[in-house]
Amino acid sequence: MQSPNKSSYISSKLLRYTLAGASVITLIVSVGVAAQSAPMPKYGEPVTEEDLANWNIDIRTPDSAGLPAGSGSVDEGKVVYDNSCASCHGANADGGPVYGAMYGGVGSFMTDKRKLTIGSMYPFPGILFDYVKRAMPMDAAQSLTDDEVYAVSAYLFHLNDLVPADAVLDAKSLSEIEMPNRDGFIVDDRPDAAVERCMKDCPPINSSS
Ligand code: HEC
């Protein structure tokens, strides 16, 4: 192979520096021009429904309103679980390095030997979907598709004996699961929980009106 000609090497390097210098100058000039003609900062634009959809993922607790389209089976859920959950929650949700078993303990919620699991604690089925979609896997939250969340929910409900092994869950079938602890909570009767939400022309905080 021919060795590179030293002088042409140097001159091409020089040329590159010159070009780089020129573009830095161009950049400074154009930034200066942009700064002069740019509109003054404003408060921004109204958020669109489309933008909001990325945040609007909550499931309303008592009736599971807000569950998305999609579905998943117990079998598919086991695959999702083994890949994305077992490292922290243990094989078969038996409990792992950071969290105990996620099934069993039904009836223990009201005793002093509480075993807090999906089956023993959650009063409504939509809570599981909401929680997993929002927060799990803890090291990669919101990385699962809706179908995968349905599937892993089906798997966990199955481990809690709440759906059969061949169950396929979607918005309707998931919301119809009757949770064993559905009567284990009372409605919050503290006065501030009953305050009507004000969205417009609201009275100042702490005023009695
Ligand atoms: C990196 C570790 C980690 C991974 C991976 C992970 N989790 Fe969790 N998970 C946690 C921790 C820690 C908690 C407890 C959080 C708390 O109590 O605030 C938790 C709590 C939960 C709970 C609540 C348990 C209960 O009894 O109420 C559920 C349900 C859950 N995880 C499901 C999942 C599913 C499904 C996956 C896989 C898609 C998953 N997790 C992956 C760490 C993890």
CB 102 within 8 A of CB 93: yes
Residues with CB under 6 A from ligand 1: 84-85, 87-89, 98-99, 102, 116-118, 128, 131-132, 136-139, 144, 152
Tokens representing 176 are 């119809």
Q: What percent of the chain has a predicted confidence (pLDDT) above 90?
A: 57
DSSP secondary structure letter of residue 73 = E
Break the chain into its structural domains and give their ranges. 57-175
Which atom of ligand 1 approaches the CA of 117 most closely?
26
Domain at 57-175, CATH class: mainly alpha
Nearest residue (by CA) to ligand 1, atom 36, is: 85
CB 154 within 8 A of CB 74: yes
Confidence of residue 36 (pLDDT cuts 50, 70, 90): low
For the chain, the average pLDDT equals 84
CB 64 within 8 A of CB 175: yes
Average pLDDT over residues 16-35: 47
